[in-house]
Structure 1
Amino acid sequence: MPLHSRHVRALGALGALVVVIAAPRAGAQQRAVLRGVVYDSLARAPLAGALVQAAPAGDLVRVRTVYADSLGAFRFDTVSAGRWVLGFDHPVVGMLSLDMPTRAVDVAAGDTTAVVLSLPGGRRMHRVLCGEATGDSTGALVGMVRDADRDAPVDSVRAFVAWPELEIGRGRIAQVTRRVPLPVRVDGSFVLCGVPSDAELMVRAEGRGVASGDVMVEVKPGTVTRQDLSVGAPRATASRLTGTVRDDKGHPIGHARVIVLGIEGRGATTSETGAFVLDSLPSGTWTMEARAIGRRPTRAVAQLSTRRVADVQFAMPKYAQSLDRVVVVGKMSVATRELTEALERTRMHGGTLITPDQIERRNPLYPSDLLRTVPGMQVLPGQFGNVIRGRGRCTPTVYLDGMPIQDGANDIDQLVPAADVMAVEVYRGIVAPVEYAGGGCGTVLLWTKR
């Protein structure tokens, strides 16, 4: 598919995804608390500084406004019981040209209602930004170009993405570098579709007297990858970077070498505790690389600025000795990719994965039957079928193919036939991955055979 950018307006089908979990409190009163988290599904991190607004559904004039903190958390105290309308805004929303719709939330008297507001997921966003016809070997790259020291958008810069390609012609094969401009808008944002996912990409921004470093980016097929760029004066040397180098088990690595790619002679050696400090660096987005004997070189991106000290954490795996092998090149199916990602998540966060083989052996009548043997989960009879509950009979959050389902714990057997369930992930309490965060009562992810 050819590279292209699209300026998308008023995406009525997309917007803030809201998951509501009511946490009962003893001594119900007429007033309640409405709290939650704003989450950036593209960066897989909280959306710090987001403007969050709430108003009673019957009186939208009485709008209350708060700003999310550095962890994306927000809170409205002493709200009245009833239906409330919530929405949020952030520069990232403008970057993607989203017109965020409002959502209604029912607040019970005396309760604390927890709400997760998030941007649409990467795959869903990709379909909207780039169209349904996009091939499975390309993705989209989005981001914002900002001045590192003023922390303000920049539009008077040139930005581009580049990657190596093999060029065949005139009886020879040569490796060339393809360089494609990023369409930076007035607000400093850019969206580029059709970016190859099977190549090592490098992005960079530069302008009159300012530039970023060369930043390495990996774009996954069929989804959206976000990489912000900040620019500064290359000759200015007033930024500071600290960090730690550890192995993949969290142990510090001493005497490792940390360098700034693109700045000759700038590096530091870690102490016995794995810590390092680099002073007198130029502002902007730069790629750092850590090297140590017996370890695989590891890279990380740092946003350097005179406004704050940047921090980078490295996790360096050991070199894996392997035998020569025959490699069969093919495409990973959607089902295989989702299972691989689910296995990695459950290993990392201590969740439970119910695999296709286990589902086939159990031959469940309803999806809820798969959760009967999962520790920390209860399957109880409800008004229209089974419902699922966590410890203390609190209500867990339910996702279907990565999308949060409101009231999914009460409608789990109506969401999808048991025969269509490919795999199930279960996380107890608050240990779920941040992109599938719930309200502290556990998370259930259903994946279907697609």
Structure 2
Amino acid sequence: MHTGIALLALLVMHGLTAGSMRGQTAGVTADSYGIAGVVTDTAGLPIADTEIALESSMPSATIRTQMTRTAADGTFAFAGVVARAVSIRTRRLGFRPYSMDLLLDSLSYRRPVRITLHRAAVELAEVRVDAAETANMRDFLERRRRRGSGHFIARIEIERRRPVHTSDVLRAFPGVLVRPSARFGNVVRIRGGCRPSIWVDGVQAVNAELDEVTTPGDIEGIEVYGSWAGIPPQYNDRTGKGCGAILVWTRIR
């Protein structure tokens, strides 16, 4: 299916037609806007399962963030957007985060947004993974049971908090500072601004922030260590910074 046809079908599916914009379709009213688009890589190929966040770009606005993911053909759509000035932010593992500001009007749904993502140069340190994912979670649960120096949170509690970004889960952790990132989501710092090492399923994500390499819905458990003390030896920072660590374990699908 050609991209143009796919976008038209997506607009109809979400009720973003001329009639709906006059309030004839549920979810879209005369006081709201619709927007659709497509996400591709630099070769023009669609990128599926890209996380798209839509939020007001006005600091004083209290509009909640709307979230969606791109379909297999890279398309996405939002209906019933009540803010006119909005920001779109994207995140996809393996690609650099992207953001753009838009000023919506009654015809925005007729001008699909086209977003091109560039592959990220995130270096993953080489490690040998000897344990299966189930064994990793057993280790996580055992460390939590021992109540060592780390702080632990499991999937059921993560889902209860309904975080937009993984970093939002850590806001209540003692000694953890979460502040907005200039790239995507937030940055996490501990011990007076020290940058912790990030590990995802036993692999260290070098030169990456937590929100750039994780998605809340994919996480089974998180461990946070405020210093080198208590960190499992195999997850000590190889750069020698000693700033603590965040260990993320993803769900088995």
Higher relative contact order (CA 8 A, sep 6+): 2
Coarse TM-score class (shorter-chain normalised):
0.3 to 0.5
Larger radius of gyration: 1
Looking at secondary structure, tell me which structure has more strand per residue.
1
Give the TM-score taking structure 1 as reference length: 0.26
TM-score, normalising length: structure 2: 0.44
Question: Which is helix-richer, 1 or 2?
Answer: 2
